[in-house]
Amino acid sequence: MAVLPIFVLLAGCATSLQSSDYSRDYVSVTDAQGRQVLLPEACLGAPQVEVQLHETTKLAPGCANSFNLLQMVEQREDLQRGRTTGATLAAPVGRAAQYYLQGSEAELQRRRREAQEAMGDTGGLQ
């Protein structure tokens, strides 16, 4: 008997989430001024209309997500063809982690020590 309530609770946790079904590609189109612009292919589809108390129009699935990603990338062409990766920049990441772990006092001491060493190397003249 004690198993039945647990089974009912677990059955209520089932979801019907599905994987997204939209294009993640980007296409190059010509705007009114004759310029080539990059647009998410998902945004070229027809918007969805929901009929409820107030009729609302929603963007096609995936359009907003793909458009926001387009605004965030450094080079828009990377969304169509990625770049080869180079060597990692371990030193800046290591300094940032050290600064985070040791706090600002250690960073101030390091800067003072570097300034004193620089003044010692140049005889106090800069």
71-110 residue pLDDT tens: 888 888 888 887 787 777 788 888 788 878 877 777 778 8
Q: What is the pLDDT of residue 47?
A: 62
How far is the C-alpha of 86 from the C-alpha of 78, rounded, in Å?
15
Cα end-to-end distance, the chain, whole Å: 85
Asked if 29 contacts 39 with a C-beta cutoff of 8 angstroms, the reply is yes
> What's the pLDDT tens digit per position in 1-20?
555 556 555 555 556 666 66
Q: Say if residue 122's pLDDT is above 80.
A: no
Please state, as a whole number, how many other Cβ atoms lie within 10 Å of the Cβ of residue 67.
16
124 — alpha (psi -120 to 50), left (phi > 0) or beta?
left
Which of helix, strand or coil describes residue 20?
coil
pTM: 0.44
